């Protein structure tokens, strides 16, 4: 994994300070606010009287899900890059690396990036976990869903970048529209594709009351849908990169490909 230059670049970039980290710090602040707002204000007795435990964990995991999706989209659209990190187009056009390797490295790099964001959010999630009473297994499923979802959004961002990346304003608008559309109307119309709905089903107390809803198929469907969409998006990214490389090769007769990187 570390032999892939894109992964290496992501690892190095994550350990350096920069705008990307500060941006995510802002999102961490947002997650902290969510944690405080949803923190139980009344005591255990009141929770027992109402027969409803705190929904702190559900709220925080939802917030982490939105944050990572948003960061992944923006990173995919290359609104920001990690310190020392190159764009996808640069890797495809300015290096002789096989495109398959580039895409693989890109996906792995995204995975490492999401893991880092999760690690940053972990203390908040664990604080919420202590009072909310969710199960480790259910939390694991939510984290897996979050990672797969982030991958999909990263690729959506990459597609946007490769398609209309030269138009900054449109890219900015498209990226946010994708997030909004998939999160709100699609999530409402097809709850099985919604990460908030997935989180709610997995972590809220609703699960114990209706164990049938908790079934593994429900979780697998979400992961399968997003994995399948990610594969399609990765294929689309690959095709776009192939086309771009061919166009560039045609334009320069392929003579000077890789000079940028080797120099």
Task: Enumerate binding residues for another protein (CB under 8 A).
Answer: 14-18, 21-22, 25, 28-29, 32, 35-36, 39-41, 43-45, 47-49, 51-54, 116, 119-124, 126-127, 129-131, 133-135, 205, 207-209, 211
Question: What is the CA 106 to chain-centroid distance, rounded?
Answer: 13
Q: Which is nearer to another protein, 19 or 168 (CB)?
A: 19
Please report where in the chains the tokens 């961002």 appear, as a residue: 157
Q: Which is nearer to another protein, 135 or 244 (CB)?
A: 135
Query: Minimum distance between the CB of residue 261 and another protein, rounded to whole angstroms?
Result: 24
Query: Minimum distance between the CB of residue 223 and another protein, rounded to whole angstroms?
Result: 22
DSSP-assigned states of every residue in 18-49: SHHHHHHHHHHHHHHHHHHHHS--S-HHHHHH
Query: Minimum distance between the CB of residue 35 and another protein, rounded to whole angstroms?
Result: 7
Q: Which is nearer to another protein, 126 or 181 (CB)?
A: 126
Identify whether the C-beta of residue 67 lies closer than 8 Å to the C-beta of residue 35. no
Q: Which is nearer to another protein, 129 or 183 (CB)?
A: 129
Residue 87 main-chain phi, psi, to 5 deg: -75, 165
Integer Cα distance of 214 and 207 in angstroms: 6
Query: Minimum distance between the CB of residue 54 and another protein, rounded to whole angstroms?
Result: 7
Find, among 202, 79, 86, the residue nearest to 134 by Cα. 202
Integer Cα distance of 191 and 214 in angstroms: 14
Q: Which is nearer to another protein, 150 or 233 (CB)?
A: 150
Query: Minimum distance between the CB of residue 164 and another protein, rounded to whole angstroms?
Result: 31
Query: Minimum distance between the CB of residue 66 and another protein, rounded to whole angstroms?
Result: 18
15 Cβ contact partners less than 8 Å away, ≥ 6 residues apart: none
Q: What string of H, E and C letters represents the secondary structure of 164-226?
A: HCCCHHHHHHHHHHHHHHHHHHHHHHCHHHCHHHHHHHHHCCHHHHCHHHHCHHHHHHHHHHH
Q: Which is nearer to another protein, 12 or 228 (CB)?
A: 12
Query: Minimum distance between the CB of residue 209 and another protein, rounded to whole angstroms?
Result: 6
Angle among Cα 45, 51, 57 to the nearest 5 degrees reads 90
Q: Which is nearer to another protein, 28 or 146 (CB)?
A: 28
- As separate numbers, helices (DSSP H) first and strands (DSSP E) second, the chain gives 13, 0
């Amino acid at each position: 994994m570390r032999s892939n230059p894109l992964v290496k670049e992501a690892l190095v970039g994550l350990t350096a300070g920069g705008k990307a980290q500060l941006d995510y710090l802002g999102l961490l602040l947002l997650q902290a606010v969510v944690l405080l707002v949803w923190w139980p204000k009344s005591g255990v007795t009141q929770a027992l009287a109402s027969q409803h435990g705190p929904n702190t964990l559900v709220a925080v995991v939802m917030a982490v899900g939105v944050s990572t999706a948003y960061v992944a989209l923006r990173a995919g659209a290359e609104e920001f890059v990690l310190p020392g990190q190159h764009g996808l187009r640069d890797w495809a056009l300015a290096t002789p690396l096989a495109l398959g390797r580039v895409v693989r490295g890109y996906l792995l790099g995204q995975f490492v990036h999401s893991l880092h964001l999760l690690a940053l959010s972990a203390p908040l999630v664990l604080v919420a976990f202590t009072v909310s009473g969710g199960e480790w297994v259910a939390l694991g499923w939510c984290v897996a869903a979050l990672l797969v979802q982030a991958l999909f959004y990263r690729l959506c961002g990459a597609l946007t970048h490769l398609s209309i990346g030269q138009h900054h304003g449109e890219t900015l608008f498209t990226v946010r529209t994708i997030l909004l559309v998939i999160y709100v109307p699609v999530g409402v119309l097809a709850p099985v594709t919604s990460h908030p709905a997935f989180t709610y089903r997995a972590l809220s107390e609703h699960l114990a009351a209706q164990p049938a809803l908790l079934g593994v198929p429900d979780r697998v469907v979400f992961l399968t849908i997003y994995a399948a969409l990610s594969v399609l998006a990765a294929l689309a990214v690959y095709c776009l990169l192939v086309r771009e490389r061919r166009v560039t090769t045609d334009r320069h007769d392929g003579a000077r490909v890789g000079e940028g990187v080797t120099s």
